[in-house]
Structure 1
């Protein structure tokens, strides 16, 4: 079952992969091309390695995969990892009782 966070991760990954092609075709965002253009660079490298396919489609698939993986990790850490002492909820309850 896919959570809403994972759906949002896939959508953001697809949007990121569309934006990643801007530095390759224009001079906009060329200063941060190494960070923004990760899906486009991976798609280009995959096309060169396989000698078939389309780099644009590969970048969309890789961006969606990266977004899904990131959202899944974020889901896992928020649900299963508890940081003790981060929130002071018990301290407030004890102070209300007069302890």
Structure 2
């Protein structure tokens, strides 16, 4: 999942941000359809939760009389959080697999 996301950045970033947009809008009361070919909701929800904790409704706008998301800044933040979580997961994996203990004499 993570490797594919980073290696096919453009397409996967759009797909991920579409999923995140849906969950973000739902969080603030607008019912929207989740993309059928979207990422697992559990994964996207973790990223959106971090975004909401940090920015609350900062990315919400009114568009054609409905709640919507300011797309460009939203997408940039979602991707930053996603990459940060991916990096943390990789670092945690290697810390657990290769403990940093000094060699014994």
Give TM-score scaled by structure 1 length.
0.43
More helix by share: 1
Normalising by structure 2, we get a TM-score of: 0.41
Higher relative contact order, structure no. (Cα contacts within 8 Å, ≥ 6 residues apart): 1
Q: Which has the higher strand share?
A: 2
